[in-house]
Amino acid sequence: MFANLKPLPTDPILGLMAKYRQDTNPNKIDLGVGVYKTEEGDTPILSCVKKAEKFRLENETSKSYIGLAGDLGFCAKMESLLLGEHPALLANRVRTAQAPGGTGALRVAAEFIAKANPQASVWVTTPTWANHIGLFSAAGLTVKEYPYYDYENKGLLFDEMMATLKTVPKGDIVLLHACCHNPSGMDLNAEQWQQVADLAKEVGFTPLVDIAYQGFGTSLEDDSAGLRLLAATVDEMIICSSCSKNFGLYRERIGACSIISESSAVADIANSVLLSVVRSIYSMPPAHGATIVDTILGSEELTAEWHQELAEMRNRINGLRSTIVEALHSRGVAQDFSFIEKQHGMFSFLSITPEQIERLQKEYSIYIVGSSRVNVAGVSKANINYFADAVATVIK
């Protein structure tokens, strides 16, 4: 049987990571992998996480399964983190299942959609996180795209986006990035979120909000504002969240899939389907990451420390955006990179050609994915001049 298998191409980002590891250039820079990095190039364990882990080590009393929905304390606290004191929560219309990372949450959502409406198409932004398409396709769903990023003007194709969404059939799913759009960094503003929410109610499509970077954009509250507005406007929606970035828990694979229904009774039915999906994929989620988040959000002291550490990461990223723009401008580069400062989160398109990207890799050991998406957090005070000199050279 295995002899009939055909090799599949390596994920571009994973392939780039392998090349970077093999590169012996001491000046090499990895701007491909999507993880936060400090000035020293490390992906740190947050101090609040260390304290929560210590507490868990000293107080855990069992290694038994934690149930299909996962850690219920974690689930409740994630609902509050995402929605605040939202009417949907007060009306008991929200159900949440812990998932193995944001990716796991999306796959659970995909299988849930396939059970609720197997004929539904899932509409994603052009461009979107590359794995979105694979996750929904693997569940047997049709994936379609709607206009989003304006490559030419480095902004949003909002009018074109709205025109396309007006044609989405009732019952289809529209995936929206809550904040820090991956890969463009371009987000909807409050007025645009309201227009999307009103259109969703009018047309009848179901929003699916992917929120993987809450707190990395402007603030925890601002980054969830669009999500909350949607939840206040439509009767049903799906939220897929991740704790990989804002808690630094990448390898713990901790996320959640939340379903908002039109009533508490319908929410109970939806929850039974949601948990049946969980059962058929991985049965029970792991406990460690959820317990860490539950412990942090359950402690005023640790929550305050987390807010401070999260702000430090966010401020560093936003500062780097300005640093990159200033460094390239100071080298007399004709191309205008000021758009980088207007974006949010770790990612931005440099909008350079494939040939220029190849030169950066071959001549300077600067690793960028083929779309020209860069992880801003991979830049530092130590390498900014090397990076800016290299970019200026290849685009002149």
- Mean pLDDT, to the nearest integer, of 133-140? 97
Q: Is the pLDDT of residue 137 over 90?
A: yes
Instruction: Say which of 210, 223, 294, 306 is annotated catalytic.
Output: 210
Cβ atoms within 10 Å, residue 341? 14
pTM of the model: 0.96
Q: Tens digit of pLDDT for each residue in 169-194?
A: 999 999 999 999 999 999 999 999 99
What 3-state DSSP class applies to 44? Answer: coil
Q: Is the pLDDT of residue 9 over 90?
A: no
Q: Is the pLDDT of residue 355 over 80?
A: yes
Confidence of residue 33 (pLDDT cuts 50, 70, 90): confident
- Mean pLDDT, to the nearest integer, of 364-369? 96
Q: Tens digit of pLDDT for each residue in 369-382?
A: 999 999 999 999 99
Q: Is the pLDDT of residue 54 over 90?
A: yes
Angle 125-128-132 from CA coordinates, rounded to 5° = 105
CATH fold for domain 8-45+302-395: Aspartate Aminotransferase, domain 1 (3.90.1150)
- Mean pLDDT, to the nearest integer, of 351-371? 95
Cα–Cα distance measured from residue 315 to residue 238, given in angstroms and rounded to the nearest whole number: 29
Fold match, 8-45+302-395 / 65-298: no
In contact, 375 and 31? CB cutoff 8 Å: yes
What 3-state DSSP class applies to 176? Answer: strand
Which residue ranges make up each domain of the chain?
Answer: 8-45+302-395, 65-298
Instruction: Say which of 154, 245, 294, 306 is annotated catalytic.
Output: 245
Q: For the chain, what is the mean pLDDT?
A: 96
- Residue 210 falls in the annotated catalytic set: yes
DSSP secondary structure of 287-338? SHHHHHHHHHHT-HHHHHHHHHHHHHHHHHHHHHHHHHHHHHHHTT-SS--G
Place of tokens 């990989």: 244
- Residue 294 falls in the annotated catalytic set: no
- Residue 144 falls in the annotated catalytic set: no
Cα–Cα distance measured from residue 346 to residue 105, given in angstroms and rounded to the nearest whole number: 21
- Mean pLDDT, to the nearest integer, of 141-150? 98
Q: State CA 21 to chain mean position distance.
A: 25
Instruction: Say which of 129, 172, 187, 193 is annotated catalytic.
Output: 129
130-138 helix and 101-116 helix, angle to the nearest 10 degrees: 40
Cα–Cα distance measured from residue 11 to residue 225, given in angstroms and rounded to the nearest whole number: 33
**Architecture of the domain delimited by 65-298:** 3-Layer(aba) Sandwich (3.40)
> 280: which 2 tokens?
């058929």
In contact, 12 and 369? CB cutoff 8 Å: yes
What 3-state DSSP class applies to 338? Answer: helix
Cα separations (Å) of 214 from 59, 228, 283? 29, 13, 27
> 55: which 2 tokens?
């507490």
Handedness of CA 10, 12, 14, 20 (dihedral sign): positive
Cα–Cα distance measured from residue 248 to residue 101, given in angstroms and rounded to the nearest whole number: 12
